[in-house]
Amino acid sequence: MAEYQLHCFAQSGNSYRAALMLGLIGADWEPVFVDFFNGATRTAEYRETINEMGEAPVLVHGSKKLSQSGVILAYLAERSGKFLPRGAEEQLEVWRWIIFDNQKLNGSLAPYRFLHRFAKPRGDPAVIKFLKSRSDSALGILDKRLAGRAFVLGPEPTIADLSLVGYLYYPSDEFGFDIAAEHKNIGAWLDRIKALPGWAHPYDLMPGHPLPG
């Protein structure tokens, strides 16, 4: 058995954050498929034995069972010594951007993508339009932040970057617009992260793609 097990599925950007981190630090890990689209996370068994919150990802490491991607990123960064902020001020900045990501960027982009691409029936057009507007605003903030700098905090990537990319490598047809093409600084930053040793696309890292039917 691998040192780490990650309960995840390919379409989940939240899961991708953790899977990407595991790949980038060269961890000994294996994915455990979560059949989200058939209701796996809503079952009593999942909530009693895997995650009471009914969410993925969940990282299992020995007797530890961790959920919430930001917590998983921080845990793996501390254990590996990689992608850590330097000092107390940078640590605050890392969490400022991870919280921004969860609340504003991927916090809007993820439900927008789900309603636009995966929901059956398709989401309410007014809700999709609202989430698209919020996503555009947050993407604009990130794009401005990346003007003139390689990564979110400066010359080196941290777990803030790995959180923020959670949904940004998925195909443009799942969003109905091309994020990298519309936001040039984000596009260049995504290329820099893609060049890191151990990077892989979410659909190559995790099980469950393509969806049947």
Please give the pLDDT value at position 15: 98
Q: How confident is the model at residue 204 (pLDDT cuts 50, 70, 90)?
A: very high
Angle at the Cα of 147 from the Cα atoms of 144 and 140, rounded to 5 degrees: 20
Angle CA(205)–CA(153)–CA(145) in degrees, nearest 5? 95
Contact 98, 70 (CB under 8 A): yes
Of 133, 143, 134, 141, the residue nearest 190 (C-alpha): 143
- Which single residue is written with the structure tokens 């689209």? 37
Question: Of 154, 150, 156, 159, which is closest to residue 188 (Cα–Cα)?
Answer: 150
**pLDDT of 16-74, one tens digit each?**
999 999 999 999 999 999 999 999 999 999 999 999 999 999 999 999 999 999 999 99
Cβ proximity of 145 and 152 under 8 Å: yes
Output the pLDDT for position 81.
Answer: 98
Is the pLDDT higher at 160 or at 213? 160
Find, among 26, 24, 45, the residue nearest to 7 by Cα.
45
pLDDT tens-digit series, residues 68-125: 999 999 999 999 999 999 999 999 999 999 999 999 999 999 999 999 999 999 999 9
Angle CA 150–152–158, to nearest 5: 100
pTM for this prediction:
0.97
Q: Which residues contact 132 (CB under 8 A, 6 or more apart)?
A: 112
Residues, the chain? 213
Number of neighbours of residue 113 by Cβ within 10 angstroms: 23
- In which residue are the tokens 């990689």 written? 82
User: Which residues make Cβ contacts (< 8 Å) with residue 122, sequence separation at least 6?
Assistant: 115, 116, 128
Separation CA 83–CA 74 (nearest Å): 9
C-alpha separations of 123 from 46, 130, 136, 181 in Å: 26, 11, 18, 25
Q: What is the pLDDT of residue 157?
A: 98
pLDDT at 61: 98
Both tokens assigned to 190: 């995504």
pLDDT for residue 155 = 97
Q: Has residue 169 got a pLDDT over 90?
A: yes
- Indicate if the pLDDT at residue 213 is higher than 80: no
- Residue 72's pLDDT is 98
Specify whether the CB–CB gap between 91 and 160 falls below 8 A.
no
Q: Which domains does the chain have, with CATH numbers?
A: 4-82+199-205 (3.40.30.10), 87-194 (1.20.1050.10)
Q: What is the arithmetic mean of pLDDT over 181-195? A: 98
